[in-house]
A and B are shown apart, each in its own frame.
Chain A
Amino acid sequence: MSESEEKQPRRVHLKVLGATLGAGAFAYAMAPLRAWTKDISKEQFLQKHYKELNKEELAKVITRLEAETKRDYGRDVTIKDPKPREGVEFGYALNLSVCIGCRKCAEACHVENNHDRKTNNSYIRVIEMEQGSMDMERGTTQYDHPVPAPGKFYMPVQCHQCDNAPCTKVCPVQATWKEPDGIVVVDYNWCIGCRYCEAACPYHARRFNWTKPEIPAEQINPNQGYLSNRIRPQGVVEKCTFCLHRTREGRLPACLEACPTGARVFGNLLDPDSEIRWVLEHKRVFILKEELGTRPRFFYYFDV
């Protein structure tokens, strides 16, 4: 025992009192975390990366996720895990001569992918560009007048599923990667929410869940995929997945089906008879920000 404590037992009492008050204040300060940690089950906390889950483990995870969705949102959903198909690599083309900027693709994406309703989130942003200029600075995403407006053309932008994606390079935990069929996916249960990928993406393709998504039960799309449109938790990054829960089963993505002018063309780049190959061979195709070397799978073209 040091001298000061021998001389001043009151000091010791004061210190103990201070320490107790401090501990109490700390517990009070951290109280909001209690409810939050209750939400996180042990299985959720310890869940392995998607690539490390075998079939049984993944099935258990999916069952748990479906139960959590039912508990949190009040809707029975089916989460599937369609695998990439051999001999398939997806490509997407967009006809800038035909797009009228109606944003129905953005709305379809919003509905199909179970986005948060309050923020009107969508993976697609449509830029109204000025004719004669490809400079996005002269464009705007917030036009709200009848379209198509004279002297303008419209350029929807979504994830380009780049072959040399900056986002997959920078992720510190490998929560995002490029699948064999070309789609860049995110394991929402592995992402730590550092948002480095969001900083790295040159196309503003990624979205972060700044809050827990809120969707009324009747508006939820119950046909979900583990890597695509299941309802994401708070604090993780998400992005367009070319609707892989649809496209891996051969269906068209939601944005294409919603497009009233047929400006969107989607298909298998490895199939020489596909529509997307025809566009790439017969139209004047270009990609955005080509100088960055991202090698996207999303192509723009004009009719003339």
Chain B
Amino acid sequence: MTKNSHVITYPRFIGRMVLGAFDGTWRFYVWMTALTAIALVGANAWAQQTANGMHVTSMTDHVSWGLYIANFTFGVGLAAGAVMMVIPAYLYDDHEMHDVVLIGELLAIAAISVCIGFVVVDMGRPDRLWHILPGIGRFNWPISMLTWDVLVLNGYLLLNLHIAGYLVYMRFLGKRPDKRWYLPFVFLSIGWAISIHTVTAFLYSGLGGRPFWNSALLAPRFIASAFITGPAFVIVLLQVVRRASSFRVGDGPIRTLTSVLRVTVLLNLFMLGSEVFTAFYTGGTHSTAVHYLFFGSHGRHALVPWIWSAIALNVVSAIVLHSKATRERLELLDFACFAAFAGVWIEKGMGLIIPAFVPSTLHEIVEYSPTLTEWKITAGVWAFGLMVLTLALKTALPVLTGEVSLGGRKEPDADDVPHAA
């Protein structure tokens, strides 16, 4: 075994990563402590939910999926959209994008962790998770779309872990990465990202008993909104990375992502309009869910403020994104990103999952309003995801800037343009 054999260097790499995860500025400690506190509150709420039963949530036999699945759906979109950057970097040979693609992949890893977290907290019997493992439990593939989702989400996670891990590890070793070990996976991840969200959409759109979901437009809508949340989050994240680390982020990636956002925001609104027209023009009982969502039905209107604020946020974001002032003022762009992110969160979460259950299949109207327990668990899972993202960036970026490497710590040179993969 030579000095540079992977058996020696890989544990050293992991060790340096772990050390880097616990070392930082006071801002880092405050941020991580706050996230840990929120995550612990969520963990405690989940423990109580598991022990006492899910009646602590506001879900019922009528509305049997709620905040958790809403956030899961949104999280899958975020994970898919994070790979938005990979497309121009690799398919269109955008050199500036190469610098920051890794950040998108790390975001995808964090987002998939969030998705898996939400699935686990939504299960009635998390102790029986092993039942779904292929070969050990009973895996109802290919008939159940949920099994497809398990495969593609975990595969996406492994894909991104491999790509990001391999590239960072090679950089740590100071070696040139071997194309065969990552390029095929990168191209695979582009198609795979589309597939994770398509499969998630198929989960819903295949159910004939839920006319609100049973539309061919659901999968395209999901992709369009995924390509809003991914770029929006990454635009803001890149600016945070600029401020908080020595990693150099050019203006090019942000411009590219903004162009993408400009298109997808309009596309999303168009598809929403298409669904609304189809429902309201036809009328009849199958459109009761849409009626309930936008105007209330039979005196029940809990979702009306949610959907209208989502529409307002999406429209405002679209207007701001297309205004000239956004090109000059980054704060306006950030505002548009926050608005788009929040708007899609509402519209895809509460505005998509809940109305399919109202009215129920027997046309009863039971409303849904999340309880405090559900909010706590949701906040906890998102906090956990943010922790994963922070740690991933905290450990990976110093390797890319050259501060952390096998040869020892070195300060980044002024004219040393760091290249990520």
Contacts and interface: CB of A to CB of B under 8 A. Distances in A.
User: Do A and B come together as binding partners?
Assistant: yes
Interface of A: 2-4, 15, 18, 22, 25-26, 28-33, 35-37, 40, 45, 49, 125, 127, 135-137, 139-141, 157, 166, 169-175, 190-196, 198-204, 206-212, 233-237, 289, 292-294
Contact of B131 (A192, A196, A208, A293): A192
Contacts of A28: 44
Given A29-B44, A170-B145, A204-B360, A192 B125 contact: yes
B123 A192 contact: yes
Interface in B39-76: 40-41, 43-44, 47-48, 50-55, 59-62, 64-65
A141 B131 contact: no
Among B48, B128, B132, B150, find the residue whose CB has the most chain A CB atoms closer than 10 A: B128
A234 B361 contact: no
Given A22-B36, A192-B124, A194-B122, A173 B132 contact: yes
A202 B44 CA distance: 35
Contacts of B119: 194
B251 interface: no
Contacts of A4: 23
B61 A198 contact: yes
26 contacts: A2-B409, A15-B22, A25-B36, A29-B43, A33-B51, A35-B51, A127-B362, A166-B207, A169-B143, A172-B132, A172-B139, A173-B128, A174-B140, A175-B138, A193-B125, A194-B123, A196-B144, A198-B61, A199-B64, A201-B209, A202-B361, A203-B209, A208-B61, A209-B124, A211-B53, A236-B124
Given A172-B150, A192-B125, A235-B54, A32 B363 contact: no
Contact of A32 (B50, B129, B357): B50
Contacts of B59: 210
Contact of B47 (A25, A29, A175): A29
A43 B315 CA distance: 56
Interface in B1-28: 19, 22-23
B53 A234 contact: yes
Contacts of A175: 131, 138
A202 B356 CA distance: 12
Contacts of B128: 173, 190-193
- The bracket for how many chain B residues form the interface is 35 or more
B147 interface: yes
Nearest to B53: A211
Given A36-B50, A204-B360, A173 B64 contact: no
B144 A172 contact: yes
Nearest to B57: A210
A30 B362 contact: no
Contacts of B288: 137
B359 interface: yes
A137 B284 CA distance: 10
B51 A32 contact: yes
Nearest to B22: A15
B137 interface: yes
B416 interface: no
Contacts of A49: 131, 138
Interface string B124-164: 11111101100001111001111100100000000000000
Contacts of B23: 2, 4
Nearest to A36: B51
Among all A-B residue pairs, the 9 with the closest Cβ atoms: A193-B124, A202-B209, A235-B124, A211-B53, A29-B44, A210-B55, A36-B51, A172-B146, A136-B363
